[in-house]
A and B are shown apart, each in its own frame.
Chain A
Amino acid sequence: EVQLLESGGGLVQPGGSLRLSCAASGFTFSMYAMNWVRQAPGKGLEWVSTLSGSGGSSYYADSVKGRFTISRDNSKSTLYLQMNGLRAEDTAVYYCAKDPVVGATSGFYFEFWGQGTLVTVSS
């Protein structure tokens, strides 16, 4: 059974930093691209970032490019999102989501989702 467990969310001041983690199990982690998708309170869904299985290819939404960095440790089956220069508009639940296709480097639908971790940016 695929399981994705996010952690690391919390309250941070504008301009601050936070690192999210997503621990994966139930599948061969290194074979799949992984994603971060966020949802502001009461709002819709926004794709944030994708990282290929090998970690060699990364993609970012324009809204976070230059501020967020996605990474992974395949030996620990864990995905990360380093968030710097946080803004009020980054306040959201951040979901880790698995791509469906073995070996793909980017963009499909989101096959499985974690429960999410809430990031609140406020002074």
Chain B
Amino acid sequence: EIVLTQSPGTLSLSPGERATLSCRASQSVSSNYLAWYQQRPGQPPRLLIYGASSRATGIPDRFSGSGSGTDFTLTISRLEPEDFAVYFCQQYGRSPRTFGQGTKVEIK
């Protein structure tokens, strides 16, 4: 199975700052089938990005995804208070679908 490794484990930033989250795959993710989710405490995950760079419906344009092959990035251009949460990447290019372990974005 494809193992996804996210870094850093925790990102400490202030509102208004830029956040850059990394997701590295143990094998190439076919067709860039890579998604990103946000999970706030006590809430289910919410889809942010699919196909590595396509924003889901209703997602603000401060969220952007990039990358291909084995290296992918989620960027939040300017952090809003509601963006402090845990972020997961997920690949769906090969079965079984797998998730990264998550990156927590916390207020500095």
Chain A residues with a Cβ under 8 A of chain B: 44-47, 59, 61-62, 95, 100, 106-116
Contacts and interface: CB of A to CB of B under 8 A. Distances in A.
| Pairs A-B, 9 closest by C-beta atoms | A109-B35, A113-B44, A45-B99, A47-B97, A109-B50, A44-B101, A108-B92, A107-B92, A109-B92
B45 A110 contact: yes
A45 B95 contact: no
Chain A's interface: helix, strand, loop or mixed, by majority? loop
B5 to A, nearest CB: 12
Given A110-B35, A112-B47, 6 more contacts: A45-B99, A107-B92, A108-B50, A110-B45, A110-B90, A113-B46
Contact of A45 (B33, B90, B96): B90
Contact of A47 (B44, B96, B102): B96
Contacts, number: 50
B4 to A, nearest CB: 10
A61 B99 CA distance: 13
B56 A113 contact: no
Contacts of A115: 43-44
A86 to B, nearest CB: 21
B72 interface: no
Nearest to B99: A45
Contacts of B102: 44
A47 B45 contact: no
Contacts of B97: 47, 107
Contacts of B45: 45, 95, 110, 113
B46 to A, nearest CB: 7
A120 B103 CA distance: 26
Nearest to A109: B35
Interface string B82-108: 000000101010011111111000000
A59 to B, nearest CB: 7
Nearest to A95: B44
Contact of B96 (A44, A61, A112): A61
Residue from B88, B95, B100, B102 with most neighbouring chain A CB atoms (10 Å): B95
Interface in B43-94: 43-47, 50, 56, 88, 90, 92
